[in-house]
Structure formats: structure tokens, C-alpha cells
Amino acid sequence: MIGELSIDGVFLPSLLVIAVASFVLSLVVRRMFRRLRVYRFVWHAGLFDVACFVLITWVISLITIGLEPYGA
């Protein structure tokens, strides 16, 4: 998905929508990692969280790159 999304006449960049979705998903992943005690094996939790956010953003953008806007 390249370009922007029109939400009720307001144009939003698609990267912003992807970043917000990946942030919400990374919060869920972080909570799951804390519950499973994965952070015991991680050297720097902040860097690990940023890397997970970047990877989730990349995967979501790969999934949505083939989607076309409605009516195009």
C-alpha cells in the first residue's frame, strides 16, 4: 500500500497507519515476552523492543504492499 488513505475526507499517509498498527502489535508482543520471561536472555531490553517494532513494521508493510485502494 503506497500513498495515502482517505478516512472521512482526511488523507493519512499509509506509513503512519502501518506504524500505529505495528506499535499496538509491539505492545502485545512486549507483554507476551514479559509474561514468558524472555527478557532474561536479552542484553538491552530497549534495543530489543525497538528492533521488534522495526521488524513488525517491515512485515506489515510487506503484507500490505500488494493491496490497492478501493476503486482504483
What confidence score (pLDDT) does residue 3 get? 76
Mean model confidence pLDDT for the chain: 89
pLDDT of residue 18 exceeding 70, the answer is yes
Distance CA 52, CA 2 (A): 23
pLDDT tens per residue across span 37-72: 999 999 999 999 999 999 999 999 999 887 766 655
Domain definitions of the chain by residue range = 4-64
Q: Which of 29, 17, 36 is nearest to 55 (CA)?
A: 29
Q: What is the CA radius of gyration of the chain?
A: 15
In one-letter notation, the amino acid at residue 68 is: E
